[in-house]
Structure 1
């Protein structure tokens, strides 16, 4: 699996700042709507439901919000780079500037887990995170996310 299978170029965005975690989730909803036609309000609701179970800020400035939703036929992703990090209730209490959201069908058991593992593994690579943070162009960010060898899984 490669991130190009779940991420469209239109689902990559750079945002100057988000006023809060909730505002960032709304930005993800808007991005999912623009890129995949998903209902923005439903995306936000699903992400908030998942966040209520425990924060998805995994540390080192990275958050991996994810949710299962009806109306999807396969796993989809969206990425936001924040120029000004936001508090995301991360495990290390550090603000977040790299946010990769996953949206999966309600019945996508193993595919959802494979995608989550791929994204998680990829963002543990400091060199990839540095490359992403060093670029403010969505097309360049998309190329980094989808073509880097570190962003692939067997």
Structure 2
């Protein structure tokens, strides 16, 4: 599994500021709708439902919200870089500025976990995060994310 297969170029965005976690999930849902033709409201609700089980802020300014949705053909991702970090109730209580949202079919089983692990490994790399924080061009952000894992896997 490679990030280049999960994340389309059109699913990467830079946003100046969002006022709440709810608004962040709405933004991720809208991105998924535009990039993958998912129902934005269903995607947003799925993220909020999963978040109610426990925060997906993993620390160091990174959040990995994810949801399992009905009638989704495969696992897809969206990436959002916030210019102004958002309070997210992360495990380290630090605000987040790098958000990788993941959407998987309800019955994806272990593939969903593998995708989440791949995203987590990528986002735990301090060099990758530094590059993401230093760039504002969505195409460049996409390249950083998709090239990172493929070069490390080789």
TM-score greater than 0.5 by the shorter chain: yes
Q: What is the aligned partner in structure 1 of residue 133 from structure 2?
A: 133
Q: CA deviation at 1:78?
A: 0.2
Matched, 1:7 2:7: yes
Q: CA deviation at 1:149?
A: 3.9
Is the CA contact (8 Å cut-off) linking 2:122 and 2:148 kept in structure 1? no
Provide TM-score, normalisation by structure 1.
0.96
Provide TM-score, normalisation by structure 2.
0.96
Q: CA deviation at 1:49?
A: 0.4
Counterparts of 2:5 and 2:152 in 1: how far apart (Å)? 10
Q: What is the aligned partner in structure 2 of residue 64 from structure 1?
A: 64
Matched position secondary structure for 2:22: helix
> Which structure 1 segments of 5+ residues have no match?
none
Q: What is the aligned partner in structure 2 of residue 24 from structure 1?
A: 24
Structure 1 stretches of at least 4 aligned residues deviating more than 2 Å after TM superposition? 149-154
Counterparts of 1:134 and 1:120 in 2: how far apart (Å)? 20
Quick one: structure 1 residues 121 and 151, their matched pair in 2 at CA, closer, same or farther if it must change by over 3 Å? farther
Matched position secondary structure for 1:11: strand
Aligned residues: 154
Tell me which moved more, 93-102 or 143-152. Answer: 143-152
> Which structure 2 segments of 5+ residues have no match?
none
Counterparts of 1:133 and 1:151 in 2: how far apart (Å)? 20
Task: Kindly report the root-mean-square deviation, in angstroms, between the aligned alpha carbons of the 2 structures.
Answer: 1.4
Is the CA contact (8 Å cut-off) linking 2:2 and 2:150 kept in structure 1? no
Q: What is the aligned partner in structure 2 of residue 119 from structure 1?
A: 119
Q: CA deviation at 1:108?
A: 0.2
Is the CA contact (8 Å cut-off) linking 1:79 and 1:99 kept in structure 2? yes
Is the CA contact (8 Å cut-off) linking 1:6 and 1:76 kept in structure 2? yes
Is the CA contact (8 Å cut-off) linking 2:65 and 2:102 kept in structure 1? yes
Matched position secondary structure for 1:148: helix
Quick one: structure 1 residues 53 and 47, their matched pair in 2 at CA, closer, same or farther if it must change by over 3 Å? same
